[in-house]
């Protein structure tokens, strides 16, 4: 049997796409491998969100080119967001590539591989479609306990810094009944936790022509599925989170007390330049409502430092909101110019050194806050879905709490796949020891 190695870069949407690729290739007779030297086909599923992500993928593919020089029958495919962005130009940078496949043509990958076997021409498909472009139901997942479930693809928001709308295409929702039947099937197979994926889940249903297909309704349907214990989702755009969704936190039993809710910046001037369509004040109001409805809710965020023209004063506003909100965790990124986006028309004028300092300052602040928040949980009872042995110490088990915090347990070997309630004995900024 031929073997395929799929290496993933980028976000959960890409991980989910890699699972679809794995499913399509399994049907075409390929067994998965995670060893480059054992693979007949290697696919990189790439990300374009920042220059650093692109450089990583190019570097990796150059390395694989050396492997192919020794083994010319090895087939190399370049897929994902960078494929959609750079298209034919990739053959110039990486002349040894066999095929390039965009984000909406995943189903053509087995065929592209077959063609590549027969001839040595450059093969490419980066065409885009109006309808939902992949059959999610073929996804092959690694474990059964937790699953990513895409509910929409693409993005129509055009935040000024962001390449995603250009590489993922227009927003298209997946039919509600398809999502419900996939989650039912997952539950039958032993899945207990689903994370719904979309660039902005609040606009789920747009274009489906079904007034009942809204995000809150979808959550209710999934909440009714026996076997599913936890529902999460990423990402919700602050500009249009609905009162109905806010009210579901703390109400809908399976909806976890956790929300990834990217603010990006604390300065209204920068938020407006970013085309985010909310102010820091509006965002703080939503957080107050969420915490009022669901006092235990954990919040995480994404922040960009060094957006063009960001002054020290603007940056201090970000520091201020991070102190005020006290997130449970935060992902902090240095602004990276993305060709073709609105922000690329501005000079990237914040020096790298300043971006680095701001990045470090926020990381340090967040670490302190995360440690305090976790410390406050010591002595309380938390529900943990036990996943398996800890990578660091196989004698211990790990899992996550409903608030999405990592928990480490001793003596829980028999409990893999079960939800248990435990007392938090001690805590660090990233881990609860129970």
How many chain residues interact with ligand F3S (CB under 6 A)? Answer: 12
134 binds, among ligand SAH, ligand SF4, ligand F3S, none (CB under 5 to 8 A by kind): none
From 9-17, 151-159, 361-369, 373-381, span contacting ligand SF4 (CB under 6 A) = 151-159
Is the Cβ–Cβ distance between 125 and 39 less than 8 Å? no
| Binding-residue pattern over the window 32 to 51 for ligand F3S, x denoting contact by CB under 6 A | ---------------xxx--
237 makes contact with ligand SF4 (CB under 6 A): yes
**Beta-sheet pairing, 152-153 with 172-173:** antiparallel
Tell me the β-bridge partners of 386: 399
Query: Which of 80, 102, 110, 262: binder of ligand SAH (CB under 6 A)?
Result: 262
CA angle 126, 46, 71 (to 5 degrees): 90
CA angle 76, 81, 84 (to 5 degrees): 80
Here the tokens at position 223 are: 């909440």
Cβ neighbourhood burial of 314 (10 Å; 0-12, 13-18, 19+): buried
333 binds, among ligand SAH, ligand SF4, ligand F3S, none (CB under 5 to 8 A by kind): ligand SAH
- Smallest gap from Cβ 278 to ligand SAH, in A, equals 12
Query: Which of 235, 300, 374, 398: binder of ligand SAH (CB under 6 A)?
Result: 235
Cβ neighbourhood burial of 251 (10 Å; 0-12, 13-18, 19+): exposed
359 makes contact with ligand SF4 (CB under 6 A): no
DSSP per-residue codes, 286-343? HHHHHHHH-TT-EEEEEEEE--TT--HHHHHHHHHHHHHH--SEEEEEE----TTSGG
162 makes contact with ligand SF4 (CB under 6 A): yes
Footprint of ligand SAH on 326-365 (CB under 6 A): 333, 335-336, 338
Here the tokens at position 94 are: 């990486």
Nearest to 384 by CA among 430, 420, 333, 338: 420
126 makes contact with ligand SAH (CB under 6 A): no
3-state SS, residue 103: coil
335 binds, among ligand SAH, ligand F3S, ligand SF4, none (CB under 5 to 8 A by kind): ligand SAH
| Binding-residue pattern over the window 58 to 97 for ligand F3S, x denoting contact by CB under 6 A | -----------------------x----------------
44 makes contact with ligand SF4 (CB under 6 A): no
Cα 21 to chain centroid distance, Å, stands at 17
Nearest to 76 by CA among 40, 30, 126, 125: 40
10 makes contact with ligand F3S (CB under 6 A): yes
167 makes contact with ligand F3S (CB under 6 A): yes
20 makes contact with ligand F3S (CB under 6 A): no
- Smallest gap from Cβ 84 to ligand SAH, in A, equals 15
With respect to ligand SF4, which residue has the nearer C-beta, 157 or 419?
Answer: 157
161 makes contact with ligand SAH (CB under 6 A): yes
Q: How many CB atoms lie within 10 A of CB 34?
A: 10
Here the tokens at position 327 are: 């997130």
How many chain residues interact with ligand SF4 (CB under 6 A)? Answer: 10
- Write out the residues near ligand F3S by the rule CB under 6 A: 10-11, 13-14, 47-49, 81, 163-164, 167-168
């Amino acid at each position: 049997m031929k073997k395929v190695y799929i290496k993933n870069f980028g976000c959960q949407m890409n991980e989910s796409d890699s699972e679809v690729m794995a499913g399509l290739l399994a049907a075409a007779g390929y067994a998965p491998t995670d060893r480059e030297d054992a693979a007949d086909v290697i696919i990189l599923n790439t990300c374009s969100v920042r220059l650093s992500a692109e450089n990583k993928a190019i570097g990796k593919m150059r390395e694989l080119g050396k492997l192919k020089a020794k083994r010319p029958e090895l087939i190399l495919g370049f897929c994902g967001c960078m494929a959609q962005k750079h298209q034919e130009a990739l053959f110039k940078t990486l002349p040894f590539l066999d095929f390039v496949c965009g984000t909406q043509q995943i189903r053509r990958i087995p065929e592209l591989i077959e063609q590549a076997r027969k001839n040595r021409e450059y093969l490419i498909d980066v065409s885009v479609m109006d309808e939902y472009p992949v059959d999610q139901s073929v996804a092959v997942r690694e474990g059964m306990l937790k699953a990513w479930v895409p509910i929409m693809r693409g993005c129509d928001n055009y935040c000024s810094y962001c390449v995603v709308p250009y590489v993922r295409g227009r927003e298209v929702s997946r039919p509600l009944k398809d999502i419900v039947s996939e989650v039912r099937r997952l539950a039958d197979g032993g899945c207990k936790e689903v994370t719904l994926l979309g660039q902005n889940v609040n606009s789920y249903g747009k274009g489906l022509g079904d007034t009942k297909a809204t995000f809150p309704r979808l959550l209710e349907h999934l909440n009714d599925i026996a076997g599913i214990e936890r529902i999460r989702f990423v990402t919700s755009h602050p500009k249009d989170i609905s009162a109905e969704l806010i009210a579901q936190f703390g109400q809908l039993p399976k909806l976890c007390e956790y929300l990834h809710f990217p603010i990006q910046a604390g300065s209204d001037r920068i938020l407006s330049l970013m085309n985010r369509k909310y102010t820091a004040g509006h965002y703080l109001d939503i957080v107050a409502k969420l915490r009022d409805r669901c006092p235990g809710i954990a919040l995480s965020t994404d922040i960009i430092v060094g957006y063009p023209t960001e002054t020290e004063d603007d940056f201090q506003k970000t520091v201020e909101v991070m102190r005020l909100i006290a997130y449970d965790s935060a992902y902090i990124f240095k602004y990276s110019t993305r060709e073709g986006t609105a922000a690329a028309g501005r000079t990237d004028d914040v020096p790298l050194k300043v971006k680095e300092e701001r990045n470090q300052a926020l990381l340090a602040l967040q670490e302190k806050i995360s440690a305090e928040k976790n410390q406050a949980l010591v002595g309380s009872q938390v529900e943990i879905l036990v996943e398996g042995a800890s990578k660091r110490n196989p004698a211990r088990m790990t899992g996550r709490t409903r608030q999405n915090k990592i928990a480490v347990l001793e003596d829980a070997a028999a409990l893999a796949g079960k939800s248990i309630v435990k007392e938090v004995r001690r805590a660090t900024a990233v881990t609860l020891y129970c």
